[in-house]
Structure 1
Amino acid sequence: MATLKFSKDHEWISVEGTTARVGITHFAQEQLGDVVFVDLPAVGTALTEGGDAAVVESVKAASDVYAPVDGEVTAANADLADTPDLVNTDPMGKGWFFEMTLSNPAQLDGLMDEAQYKAMIGE
């Protein structure tokens, strides 16, 4: 079963073993409004915890998406090129951004669980 964690920057990360899938939360996509473009990292890109990983553009603004942990990108969600609104309609599912292999799984301990994240955003 996957472990789901959240960052203070509103990214979610779903981890199984040393593989993780990353996207932005429902709260984040609501703040952005209608997503019109997503710039995803290339496979093989080394990511650093808290560093820039992707860019999401909406009708309101462009926003950086940060890597919740260190790792290497193993896949990018090609569906977002043609249907970036998947980020709005299914942010925790089909609207995922990229997959990565974790370099330091212990970094997950610094992220929030769902209850902590909901408390942070006031739900």
Structure 2
Amino acid sequence: MTLAALAVRAVACLAIYVVSVAALPAPEGESTDLRERFESGRRLFFGGFAFFVLLVGVVTPIVHRLMTPGSDWPLPWENILFIALCVACIFVGRRWLHGLVLLVLIIPLALEWLPLSIAG
């Protein structure tokens, strides 16, 4: 179980690297048009992030459930929904949808981080 979980996490780290490469502009010249850069890397960004959520949020619990006899873990439906939203962003070029998916990503992370930062 440990080797399978480690392999999934290693591939997930590569997916995060792909997401960061797609999100950050390359230092090619004096200025970068961020709108054009986002549009050119949009499919790679959302595809890499969907793959990351698939590995960490869906495959890892399934591996744990298969390796732990007698466990009855529910499927992470919120992760499956987020993967569907990311796949929709790959094929749909609407900025409001991209912004909505990014807000769905950022708000829960901020709500987890905010109490920790206030508490010091």
**TM-score scaled by length of structure 2:** 0.28
Q: Which has the higher strand share?
A: 1
Which has the bigger relative contact order, CA under 8 A and spacing at least 6? Answer: 1
Q: Which has the higher helix share?
A: 2
